Amino acid sequence: MNLTDEIRLYGLIGDPVTGSRSPWIHNTIFNALGLKAAYLAFHVEPTRLGASIAGFRAIGMGGFNITIPHKQTAIGHLDALDPFAEKLGAVNTVAITPEGLIGYNTDGPGLISVLRRKIGAIEDKKVLILGAGGAARGIAGSLLFNGVKDVGICNRTWTKADALIRDLEIFGKAHIVDRENFKDYDLVINTTSVGMYPFEDATPVDIKYLHPEADVCDIVYKPRRTRLIREAEAAGHRVIFGIDMLIEQAVLAEKIWFNLTDEQVDHARELIHTEL
C-alpha cells in the first residue's frame, strides 16, 4: 500500500488486541476495493479509553472497531447510537462523521446476514443458543430484533441463562431449554468457547441430541472446523462456520464507513474468503 497523505486511518481498540484478524481483514478489503484507507490495532487499557477515543476524533480518523473489554464502556464516549446497538448496550463499530461519533453493533447482525444467505428466511426457525455470555447476548438479541419468534438458551450455569433471558426482555421473549428438548430446534448456534484452540477435542454438545435435520453453527473460528462442526458434517447436518460471522461483521463495518454498494460488499466478501 502507498501511504500518501490521502490515506484515512481506521483501527481497532481492545485489551488485548494481539492476534486479532481485523487488521488483515480490513486492509485486504481496502486494497481490493481501492479505498484510500489503512487499519491498525491499538492496545488500549480501560483507563485510557476516553483519551484514546478523544484522540481518534481529534486526528480525524474515519472510524474504528471496539473489542473486549470496551464494547459497553465506550458508549459513554460516543454522540449517538443506532437503534440495535442502543438496545443491546454494546458497540463494536464507530463511524466518525461530521455529525459526531456514531456507534453500531455488527456482531449479531453479521451472523444474521450469514444465516439469511445460507439458510434463507430465519423468522420461523426455532433457534437454540448454547452459552449465555457476551456473544450469546448479541446473537440472541439480534435474532429477536430480527423477528425470530422462538429463541432457546442452554448454558452450563443456569443462573446466567436466567439473567440473560431477563436482560433480553427488551427485545422479546427467550426461554431456557434443557438437553431433552434439543431435538425441537431447527438451528443450533454454539456461542461458548468450548472447542476453541488449543482445546480442539472438546465439543459443547453431543450431536446425537440434535434433530437430524438441524443446521449447526459454531461461532468459534479457530480452528475453522471445530469438533462440533466436524461431527455435524459427518452426521449430514448443514453447517455454518464462525469465520463467516467474523468476516461478515467486518464487511458490515466497511459498509457503514464507506457506504458501499451491494456489488462492492459481495466482492469484498468473496475476496476475503479466497485469501483467508
Residues of the binding site for shikimate: 20-22, 67, 92, 107, 221, 249
Q: How far is the CB of 30 from ligand ATR (least distance, A)?
A: 27
Distance between start and end Cα atoms, the chain: 19
Choosing from 36, 71, 126, 149, the catalytic residue is 71
Contact yes or no for 49/74 (Cβ under 8 A): yes
Chain residues that interact with ligand ATR, rule: CB under 6 A: 131-136, 155-157, 160, 191-194
In this complex, which beta carbon is closest to ligand ATR, that of residue 65 or of residue 155? 155
Kindly state the smallest distance separating residue 97's Cβ from ligand ATR, in Å.
28
Q: Shortest distance, CB of residue 159 to ligand ATR, whole angstroms?
A: 9
- Going by the DSSP 8-state scheme, the letter that residue 7 receives in this structure is P
Please name the amino acid found at residue 10: Y
Q: Would residue 87 show up in a list of annotated catalytic residues for this protein?
A: no
Measured from the CB of residue 68, what is the shortest distance to ligand ATR in angstroms? Answer: 7
Of all residues in the shown chain, the one whose CB is closest to ligand ATR is 133
**Residue 41, CA distances (Å) to 10, 25, 110, 204 in order:** 9, 12, 21, 31
Tell me the DSSP string of 81-97.
E-HHHHHHT--SEEEEE
Nearer to ligand ATR, 95 or 188 (CB): 188
A 10 A CB-CB count for 259 gives 9
Q: What angle do CA 218, 70, 258 make, to 5 degrees?
A: 75
Output 17 or 135, the one with its CB closest to ligand ATR: 135
Residue among 103 and 108 whose Cβ is closer to ligand ATR: 108
Binding residues for NADP(+): 131-135, 155-160, 219, 242
Q: Which residues of 113-137 are buried (b: 16+ CB within 10 A; e: fewer)?
A: bbbeeeeeebeebbbbbbbbebbbb
> Is 134 or 223 the residue whose CB approaches ligand ATR more closely?
134
Taking the complex as a whole, the smallest distance from the CB of residue 203 to ligand ATR amounts, in Å, to 10
Type of residue at 114: V
Cβ-based neighbour number of residue 227 at 10 Å? 19
- The residues annotated with a catalytic role in the active site are 71
